[in-house]
């Protein structure tokens, strides 16, 4: 008996398209790091026009939406199509220690870079300790 389609293979193919694989992720791959007093996120968005990128923030959830449109005209005969097209969306939950009112974003060479400053109350600081009460008397008497 010869099977024309393998339902399990079709399911694997669908899962790879939706979830991606290690070599070809479906979602926007990102890198995130802290640089001085800023939190930086860089999203790989090759082949995306800057005007199709949409950033939004609600509470501490940052949402990035982008659309990759086909380059070939509709009348062209497609010979190979491995680049995913359509609308991509990714949400990143930010920590409470970031100042989400001062977010800056730039797009260059297919990389969307978002810079979020660390909030003042979250920055490390030194606390001055004063001697008080009995401790102050011990310091003054030389004990």
pLDDT, mean of residues 78-85: 83
Burial of residue 86 (CB within 10 Å: 0-12, 13-18, 19+) is: exposed
Q: Which residues contact 39 (CB under 8 A, 6 or more apart)?
A: 32, 33, 94, 95, 98, 115, 116, 117, 118
Please give the CATH number for the structural domain made up of 26-70+83-124: 2.60.40.790
**Residue 129: pLDDT over 70:** yes
pLDDT, mean of residues 45-60: 93
Rounded CA gap, 5 and 12, in Å? 13
- 1 falls in which pLDDT band (50, 70, 90)? very low
CB atoms within 10 A of CB 64: 22
Percent of the chain scored above 70 by pLDDT?
73
């Amino acid at each position: 008996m010869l099977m024309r389609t393998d339902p399990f293979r079709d399911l694997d193919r669908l899962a790879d398209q939706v979830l991606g694989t290690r070599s070809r992720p479906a979602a926007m791959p990102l890198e995130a790091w802290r640089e001085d007093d800023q939190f930086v996120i860089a999203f790989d968005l090759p082949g995306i026009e800057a005007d199709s990128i949409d950033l939004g923030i609600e509470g501490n959830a940052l949402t990035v939406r982008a659309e990759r449109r086909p380059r070939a005209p509709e009348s062209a005969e497609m010979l190979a199509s491995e680049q995913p097209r359509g609308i991509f969306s990714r949400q990143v939950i930010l920590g409470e220690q970031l100042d989400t009112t001062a977010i800056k974003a730039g797009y260059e060479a297919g990389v969307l870079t978002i810079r979020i400053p660390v909030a003042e109350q979250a920055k490390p600081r030194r606390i001055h300790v004063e001697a008080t009460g009995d401790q102050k008397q011990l310091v003054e008497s030389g004990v």
